């Protein structure tokens, strides 16, 4: 289950990034809902919110370590823990999607621009939803 969902997330993430790279120039923006939601191609050489800019090798190593930790802990999820499987798949798929960008391009392709928030991508969305879901799950459980 985890691998199938993760694969779909990586596929969707990489497909959307491919389409954006083929059709946009860097920093080009196209309003979808004017001043609310734009598609804006950004090369993100840092981590979330622009931290660690231009430390690509370090970010790749951190990503690999995080993915390893995810594999280690989430292999222990039982079959009947469907919610945990889905949340693990969200985090893993998103982390892999951004790792592919860093390794292949030297930066992460970001393009979802809500104007009041830093530009992000599909992978970021799944990682965020997965982590928030995991925090809520653990908080309610414990």
The reply to whether 110 belongs to the active site is yes
Out of 13, 101, 113, 124, pick the active-site residue.
124
Residues 6+ apart with CB under 8 A from 87: 130, 133, 134, 137
Reference 17, options 99, 128, 136, 116; nearest CA is 99
> What DSSP state is assigned to residue 50?
G
Beta carbons of 75 and 1 less than 8 angstroms apart: no
Reference 106, options 53, 50, 37, 31; nearest CA is 53
Residue with tokens 């190593």: 61
According to DSSP H, which parts of 1-81 are helical? 2-23, 56-74
The reply to whether 13 belongs to the active site is no
Active site residues: 110, 124
């Amino acid at each position: 289950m985890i691998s199938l969902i993760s694969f779909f997330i990586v596929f969707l993430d990489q497909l959307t990034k491919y389409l954006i790279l083929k059709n946009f120039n860097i920093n080009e923006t196209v309003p979808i809902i004017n001043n609310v939601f734009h598609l804006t191609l950004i090369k993100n050489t840092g981590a979330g919110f622009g931290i660690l800019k231009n430390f690509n090798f370090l970010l790749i190593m951190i990503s690999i370590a995080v993915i390893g930790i995810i594999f280690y802990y989430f292999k222990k999820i039982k079959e009947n823990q469907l919610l945990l499987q889905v949340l693990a798949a969200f985090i893993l798929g998103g982390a892999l999607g951004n790792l592919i960008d860093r390794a292949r391009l030297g930066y992460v392709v970001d393009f979802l621009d809500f104007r009041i928030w830093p530009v992000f991508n599909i992978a970021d969305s799944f990682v965020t939803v997965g982590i928030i879901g995991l925090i809520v799950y653990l908080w309610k459980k414990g």
